[in-house]
Amino acid sequence: MDRFDTGIRASGLSIGVNLALACVKVFTGIVGSSYALVADGIESAADVASSAVVWGGLRISARPPDRTHPYGHGKAESLAGIVVAVAIVLAAILIAVQSVRGIHEPHRAPEWYTLVVLALVVGIKETMYRRNLRIGRTLNSRALQGDAWHHRSDAITSLAAFVGISVALIGGKGYEAADDWAALLACGIILYNGVRLLRPAVDEVMDAAVSGAVETEIRTIAAKVPGVVEVEKCRVRKSGLGFLMDIHVVVEGGISVREGHRIGHCVKDRLMESHLPIRDVVVHVEPDRSDHACDGGVDQEPR
Instruction: Give the pTM.
Output: 0.62
- Do both 9 and 126 map to the same domain? yes
What mean pLDDT is reported for the chain? 79
For residue range 39-84, what is the model confidence (pLDDT) as tens digits?
A: 777 767 777 777 777 777 667 766 777 888 887 777 776 777 777 7
- Kindly give, in sequence order, each residue whose CB lies less than 8 Å from that of residue 271, ignoring residues fewer than 6 positions away: 218, 221, 222, 245, 247, 278, 281
> How many structural domains does the chain have?
2
**pLDDT above 90 (res 7):** no
pLDDT of residue 262: 95
Residue 123 counted as domain residue = yes
Report yes or no on 49 lying in a domain.
yes
Q: For residue 303, what pLDDT band results from cuts at 50, 70 and 90?
A: very low
- Shared domain for 236 and 178, answered yes or no, is no
Whether residues 120 and 97 fall in one domain: yes
| Structure confidence by residue, pLDDT tens digits, 174-231 | 676 776 777 777 778 778 877 877 887 788 788 877 888 899 999 999 999 999 999 9
Q: What angle do CA 176, 177, 183 make, to 5 degrees?
A: 120
Residue 294 lies in a domain: no
C-alpha 15/C-alpha 36 separation (Å) is: 22
Same domain membership, residue 236 and residue 197: no
Closest CA to 179 of 34, 25, 28: 34
Q: Is residue 195 part of a domain?
A: yes
How far apart are alpha carbons 209 and 202 in whole angstroms?
Answer: 12
pLDDT in tens, 111-170: 788 888 889 988 998 898 888 888 877 765 656 776 777 777 777 777 877 887 788 778
- 149 vs 59: CA distance, rounded Å: 21
Which pairing describes strands 242-251 and 278-287: parallel, antiparallel, or unpaired?
parallel
- The answer to whether residue 107 sits within a structural domain is yes
Shared domain check, 36 and 160: yes
Q: Are residues 144 and 254 in the same domain?
A: no
Residue 296 falls inside a structural domain:
no
In a domain, 35, yes or no: yes
Of the residues 170, 187, 205, the one at which a domain ends: 205
What amino acid is encoded at 228 in this protein?
V
Please indicate, yes or no, whether residues 178 and 33 belong to a single structural domain of this protein: yes
pLDDT at 302: 46
CATH code (residue 247): 3.30.70.1350
3-class SS shares of the chain: helix, strand, coil, % to 5: 65, 10, 25
Q: Do 68 and 190 share a domain, yes or no?
A: yes
Residue 113 shares a structural domain with residue 245: no
Please tell me the distance from the alpha carbon of residue 7 to that of residue 3, in angstroms, as a whole number. 6
Same structural domain for residues 167 and 267?
no
Which of these, 208, 244, 225, 251, lies nearest to 74 by C-alpha position? 244
Say whether both 269 and 152 belong to one domain: no
My answer on whether 120 and 188 are in the same domain is yes
Which residue range is the domain that position 276 belongs to?
212-287
